[in-house]
Structure 1
Amino acid sequence: MTKIGLLSDTHGYWDEKYLKYFESCDEIWHAGDIGSMEVVQKLAAFRTLRAVYGNIDGQDIRTLYPQTNRFIVDGAEVLMKHIGGYPGNYDPSIRGSILVRPPKLFISGHSHILKVKYDKTLDMLHINPGAAGLFGFHKVRTMVRFVIDNGTFKDLEVIELAG
């Protein structure tokens, strides 16, 4: 059983609440638009960090993290890409990978819109954790926690951050 803390679109903004809410997590995943090495360093010093770079990330972050990250955690294959779309409207840059070899979980960011949706056609869960930073049009900052247990997902929690 692996507990995951998932966030996206911090845009360089650091909030100590990230650590507070991810205290119980085994890993932290960042779905891009990290925005600063400070955010990378603080998250990586706290827990294992898996990430992808987003469209606003500079070369420093792009050398550390890929544009697309496919990995397996606790029996579940995960695919993460910052600009990825969602079920019924996958971004053309990732659509082929998803259709040819669907993961059990597809994670994207970019839209700043929290979305958890199941793709029945591909038997795949999609999560966009919304935006945890201050920059953007979103009214509420959000993150997500969930558990992967032997290839299944459970105990998903949406965390709303004030401010």
Structure 2
Amino acid sequence: MKIVVISDTHLPKSKKGLPARLIVELQHADMIMHAGDWQTIDVYKKLQLYARVEGVYGNVDDLEIIGLFPLKKIVEVYGYKIGITHGHGKGKTTEKRAIAAFEGEKVDCIIFGHSHIPVNRYEGEILIFNPGSPTDKRRQKQYSFGVFSLSDKIVAELIYFDEE
């Protein structure tokens, strides 16, 4: 199973649409996970054209997105429990807030966004993953998103690309 993982699309503020490099992966996705800051419902509608979409809202999302998605959620796929949160808030780093959001809950992976800084590492047995942003790289050298392959384990890859 292939899951495309994105966050912080900020459309249409950052760019007019989804980048071509992301669309290539979306065409082969079985599922899409979005860790918030969609900006508008139009992003959700576009992503739905490719695969089932799971997600959460972020700190800049409009009321329509907030009404559709929770602040955090756990999605079970192929027996894996994947936690999704945006990671915004006060105190601690974004990554530490994301990890704290699932304290006491059994998850195999935590996906978060907010910082626009890609992360792909393990903390103990838990995969900690931030896909960065495919449309707003901020201080990063390249735009990014993630791809998960699920089988007997979660194989997580960050995809980096330049603006097209």
Band of TM-score, shorter chain: 0.7 to 0.9
- 1:15 is matched with 18
1:48 to 45, 52, 61: 52
TM-score by length of 1: 0.85
Over 3 Å counting, the alpha-carbon distance change for 1:134 and 1:101 in structure 2 is closer
Q: What per-residue deviation string (whole Å, max 9, x for no partner) do you get for residues 27-56 of structure 1?
A: 011111011222111001221011111000
Aligned counterparts of 2:137 and 2:147: Cα–Cα separation in 1: 22
SS at match of 2:24: helix
Superposition deviation, residue 77 in structure 1: 0.5
Report if aligned partners of 2:5, 2:33 keep a CA contact under 8 Å in 1.
yes
Query: Greater strand percent: which structure?
Result: 1
CA RMSD, 1 decimal: 1.8
State the SS of the aligned residue for 1:46: coil
Q: How many residues are paired up?
A: 153
- Please state whether the residue corresponding to 1:159 is helix, strand or coil: strand
Runs of 4+ in 1 over 3 A off after TM superposition: 135-139
Match in the other structure for 2:91: none
2:154 is the counterpart of 1:153: yes
Match of 1:117 in 2: 121
Q: Is 1:130 paired with 2:129?
A: no
Residues 38 and 61 of structure 2 are in contact (CA less than 8 Å); yes or no, is this contact kept in structure 1?
Answer: yes
SS of match in other structure, 2:23: helix
Q: Residues 103-134 of structure 1: CA distance to partner in whole angstroms, max 9, x if unpaired?
A: 001110001000011011xx211100011123
> Alignment identity in percent?
27
2:85 and 2:75 mapped to 1: Cα distance?
A: 12
**2:5: which partner in 1?**
6
Once the two structures are TM-superposed, the CA of residue 16 in structure 1 deviates from its matched residue by 4.4
Structure 2 residue runs without a partner (length 5+): 89-93
Q: Provide the rounded CA distance (Å) in 1 between the counterparts of 2:102 and 2:23.
A: 31
Answering whether residue 125 of structure 2 is matched by residue 139 of structure 1, we say no
